């Protein structure tokens, strides 16, 4: 029997489309990239030439792309502000939607996306690829088996000493909605909530800072024009969940600290054991009067030239997503979960602004 091909359109052919979505989708034999849209036509043309089928279409208006009834799936890879309108239009046009993180610029927009997915019955997922890392997949299984007991403290990290993205609209608050918190803190909070399987915040206190005197000094991508960067250098959240668990979230693009901790890092403390993803995954506990650390080997077991199923999180994300579409099964990153991430991030920004805690219903 001929393999069914899922026809995919890409909206926004910039950094993440080229760095993650298009290369990983193009490795799937049951996917065809048939349409590319970017406000800058040359970017869509280049993407088509590199990843598209020979008769793939190029657009500069996503609404035109959505009229193509052959397209089953769209990937929304535009800046944060347009995630909600484009995803919602795509869902109502009958497409399944993979939207980049963060889900939306505002919590209200994120809730509208959840509602649109429900109303249309189409699938919606968010590009939180840290959930698809081998470390997270392994740890999720360990936690589901109950090894950690009750997780009552977590620390989610996305800490850069210097790492302010200065291209595109990353420094444009209107387009992005914020700096490191919404950009990379979002990944760490997502993976933490996912591993805790806890989506019920009760209260949030947040602070944010724009204090570093020389954030461009040592920035890997160079500097920016005077006055162009209005974003916070760093933002921190103290989140209390309804079951009493605490999550401490640290995020920065620029911070004078010795130890940077990559986004997607998390430390989980449970009643029976602890675990962390910081580089690799480590589980810790106490037994037989000793403190013990377990570091699982997540390599391919010493097999050279391993060409089996890829462990690359971008490829696992694409595979799991297309499988969910083809088999009509649940997506890994559920829109309701990503929406809670957006609600907590917004509460941190609100608390940082007002100096008051934010309480959830």
Ligand X SMILES: NC(=O)c1ccc[n+]([C@@H]2O[C@H](COP(=O)([O-])OP(=O)(O)OC[C@H]3O[C@@H](n4cnc5c(N)ncnc54)[C@H](O)[C@@H]3O)[C@@H](O)[C@H]2O)c1
Distances (CA, A) of 205 to 136, 182, 350: 27, 16, 9
Stretch that binds ligand X, among 6-14, 28-36, 201-209, 303-311 (CB under 6 A): 6-14
Nearer to ligand X by Cβ, of 14 and 201: the residue is: 14
77 lines the binding site for ligand X (CB under 6 A): yes
For ligand X (CB under 6 A), the number of binding residues is 24
Q: Are 247 and 192 in contact (CB under 8 A)?
A: yes
| Closer CB to ligand X, 338 or 352, in the complex | 338
For the segment 182-211, give every residue that binds ligand X (CB under 6 A): 183
Minimum distance from residue 253 beta carbon to ligand X (Å): 13
Q: Given candidates 6, 33, 71, 78, which one binds ligand X under the rule CB under 6 A?
A: 78
- Of 72, 100, 232, 250, which lies in the binding site for ligand X, with binding defined by CB under 6 A? 100
- Cα distance from N-terminal residue to C-terminal residue, the chain: 52
Token couple for 231: 């974003």
315 binds ligand X (CB under 6 A): no
Which three-class secondary structure state does DSSP give residue 360? coil
Q: Return the residue of 80, 90, 192, 337 that touches ligand X, per CB under 6 A.
A: 80
Query: Using CB under 6 A, which of 14, 52, 177, 237 touches ligand X?
Result: 14
Residue with tokens 């957006």: 342
Site for ligand X in 128-167 (CB under 6 A): 129
For the chain, helix, strand, coil in percent to 5 are 35, 25, 40
Of residues 52, 79, 270, 274, which one binds ligand X by CB under 6 A? 79
Q: What is the DSSP string of 97-164?
A: EEEPSSS-SSHHHHHHHHHHHHHH---EEE--GGGGSHHHHHHHHHHHTTTT-SEEEEEEEEE-SB--
Q: Does 82 bind ligand X (CB under 6 A)?
A: yes
Q: Is 182 helix (H, G, I), strand (E, B) or coil?
A: helix
Interface ranges with ligand X (CB under 6 A) = 11-17, 37-40, 43, 62, 77-80, 82, 100-101, 127, 129, 168, 183
């Amino acid at each position: 029997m001929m393999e069914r091909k899922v026809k995919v359109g890409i909206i926004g052919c910039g950094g993440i489309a080229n760095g993650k979505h298009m290369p990983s989708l193009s490795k799937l034999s049951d996917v065809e990239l048939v349409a590319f849209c970017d406000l800058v036509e040359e970017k869509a043309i280049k993407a088509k030439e590199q990843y598209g089928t020979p008769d793939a279409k190029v657009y500069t208006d996503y609404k035109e792309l959505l009229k193509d009834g052959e397209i089953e799936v769209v990937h929304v890879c535009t800046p944060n502000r347009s995630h909600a309108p484009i995803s919602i239009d795509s869902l109502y046009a009958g497409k399944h939607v993979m939207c980049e993180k963060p889900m939306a610029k505002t919590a209200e927009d994120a809730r509208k996306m959840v509602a649109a997915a429900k109303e249309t019955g189409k699938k919606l997922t968010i590009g939180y690829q840290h959930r698809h890392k081998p470390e997270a997949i392994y740890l999720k299984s360990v936690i589901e088996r109950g090894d950690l007991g009750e997780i009552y403290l977590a620390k989610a990290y996305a800490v850069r000493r210097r790492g302010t993205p200065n291209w595109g609209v990353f420094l444009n608050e209107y387009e992005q909605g914020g700096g490191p918190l919404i950009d990379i803190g979002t990944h760490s909070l997502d993976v933490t909530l996912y591993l805790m399987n806890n989506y019920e915040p009760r209260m949030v206190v947040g602070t944010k800072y724009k204090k570093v005197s020389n954030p461009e000094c040592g920035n890997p991508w160079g500097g920016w024009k005077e006055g162009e960067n209005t974003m916070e250098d760093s933002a921190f959240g103290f989140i209390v969940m309804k079951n009493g668990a605490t999550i401490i979230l640290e995020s920065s693009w620029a911070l004078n600290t010795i130890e940077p901790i990559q986004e997607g890092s998390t430390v989980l403390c449970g009643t029976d054991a602890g675990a962390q993803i910081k580089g690799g995954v480590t589980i810790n506990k106490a037994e037989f009067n000793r403190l013990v650390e377990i570091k699982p080997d997540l390599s391919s077991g010493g097999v050279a030239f391993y060409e089996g199923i890829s462990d690359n999180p971008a490829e696992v994300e694409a595979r799991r997503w297309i499988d969910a579409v083809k088999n009509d099964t649940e997506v890994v990153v559920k829109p309701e979960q990503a929406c809670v991430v957006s609600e907590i991030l917004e509460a941190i920004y609100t608390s940082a602004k007002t100096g008051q805690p934010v309480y959830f219903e």
